[in-house]
Amino acid sequence: MTLLDSGIQKSQGVSIRFDWSLDEIQYLLEKPLMNLVWEAQIVHRSFNPEYKVQLASLLSVKTGGCEEDCSYCSQSIHNSSDVAGQSDFDVKGVLEQAKAAKDAGADRFCMGWAWREIRDGKPFESMLEMVRGVKSLGLEACVTGGMLSDQQAARLADAGLTAYNHNLDTSPEFYAQIISTRTFQERLETLDRVRNAGITICCGGIIGMGESLKDRASLLRVLATMNPHPESVPINALVPVEGTPLEDLNMVDSLEMVRMVATARILMPQSRVRLSAGREQLNKESQILCLLAGADSIFYGESLLTTSNPSVQSDKDMLASAGVSVNWDLYE
């Protein structure tokens, strides 16, 4: 039996496994922090020896008015958070923002639509044009817009889309406490459509929504037993937004983020582990610990979708003080 037959791939001395058990993952999450980070670093160093960090910028093309009831989200019509009323970006406006992101040093541009599912017609034709435009700037293009059909996935692939973001958010067991208008299974089916169209998958979750450690392990198990693993795994800390059911929750402890990142890195050695929402609430040292623990990407730019992100200058300073490989000459 070859390593591949047994479900194990080997690269640069580190095994890539797709058969992780819940107990193994929980054991990692609970390991003494020093040992966990050390193990994550060994894995990370063997796949990313130069410690390159990808800068991804984010733009909300269509904001608010979403029919889903995700209890963390400012953009749901079920929540009283007030983000509706902003007009949608047109193709020209999006490409101007993408060009600005590229000039600031980003190499991936992610566009968000607050939809339950992608709508055909003019908005979808514009989305395809935006993808083509972002790609022609030499950037990776990522879209997040809810569920999609096989046909829509194929057209996005034809337009050159690099990645589709569709998060599982939390464990299958905790999911119904966070969202009631769609199922975990529907999320998985959308991810299959994206994969079958040949688009890479960006799929991760949120911690700090009241889930248990076992829930975090269970979310990671679903991700780490996908074969192939999602190419990109965003790890978000809940940003409690006023007017959402989770508004009163406290920000998760920064070391919980470090543990989540380190465990994701060990489980999915070749994936991009992206330090996502909640970074503004982490101090410089905590962010650098997350990088040490294996995060190799951040969202870069003053805003996420509807909430704020650290300033470009503070990120440049943070990355420079961490000494990670970013070509500063490009955007000094």
CB of 270 to ligand DTB, least distance (A): 19
- The residue among 45 and 195 lying less far from ligand SAM, judged by its C-beta, is 195
260 Cβ partners below 8 Å, 6+ apart? 29, 207, 216, 220, 235
> CA–CA separation, 33 vs 20, rounded Å?
20
For the residues of 179-201, what is the DSSP string, one character each?
-SSS-HHHHHHHHHHHHHTT-EE
Decide which of ligand SF4, ligand DTB, ligand SAM, none touches 258; Cβ closer than 5 to 8 Å per partner kind: none
Query: Are residues 26 and 213 in contact, defined by beta-carbon separation less than 8 angstroms?
Result: yes
CB of 211 to ligand SF4, least distance (A): 16
Residue 107, SS3? coil
| Termini Cα distance of the chain | 53
Hey, what are 201's tokens?
Answer: 């998958």
Cβ-based burial of 41 (10 A; exposed 0-12, middle 13-18, buried ≥19):
middle
CB of 33 to ligand DTB, least distance (A): 24
- For 50, left (φ over 0), alpha (ψ -120 to 50), or beta? alpha
- Interface positions, 69-88, toward ligand SF4 (CB under 6 A): 70, 73, 75-76
289 binds ligand SAM (CB under 6 A): no
Hey, what are 69's tokens?
Answer: 């009831």
CB of 260 to ligand SAM, least distance (A): 13
In the annotation, is 70 catalytic?
Answer: yes
CB of 108 to ligand DTB, least distance (A): 11
For the residues of 273-317, what is the DSSP string, one character each?
EEE-TTGGGS-HHHHHHHHHTT--EEE-SSBSSSSB---HHHHHH
CB of 81 to ligand SAM, least distance (A): 9
Report the candidate in 92, 150, 91, 89 with the shortest Cα–Cα distance to residue 118.
Answer: 150
229 binds ligand SAM (CB under 6 A): no
Decide which of ligand DTB, ligand SF4, ligand SAM, none touches 161; Cβ closer than 5 to 8 Å per partner kind: none
Q: Which of 108, 182, 187, 202 is catalytic?
A: 202
156 Cβ partners below 8 Å, 6+ apart? 127, 128, 131, 143, 148, 164, 197, 199
> CA–CA separation, 295 vs 41, rounded Å?
10
Site string for ligand SF4, 143-172 (x = CB under 6 A): ---x--------------------------
Q: Which of 17, 66, 182, 221 is catalytic?
A: 66
277 binds ligand SF4 (CB under 6 A): no
In the annotation, is 73 catalytic?
Answer: yes
Decide which of ligand SF4, ligand SAM, ligand DTB, none touches 48; Cβ closer than 5 to 8 Å per partner kind: none
64 binds ligand SAM (CB under 6 A): no
In the annotation, is 274 catalytic?
Answer: yes
> Where along the sequence are the contacts to ligand DTB (CB under 6 A)?
58, 74, 110, 112, 144, 165, 167, 204, 234, 236, 239, 276-277, 304-307
Query: Are residues 300 and 312 in contact, defined by beta-carbon separation less than 8 angstroms?
Result: yes
> CA–CA separation, 169 vs 134, rounded Å?
27
Number of amino acids touching ligand SAM (CB under 6 A): 18
Decide which of ligand SF4, ligand DTB, ligand SAM, none touches 166; Cβ closer than 5 to 8 Å per partner kind: ligand SAM
Note the residues at the interface with ligand SAM (CB under 6 A).
66, 72-73, 112, 114-115, 144, 146, 166-167, 169, 206, 236, 238-239, 241, 277, 305
Catalytically active residues are 66, 70, 73, 110, 142, 202, 274
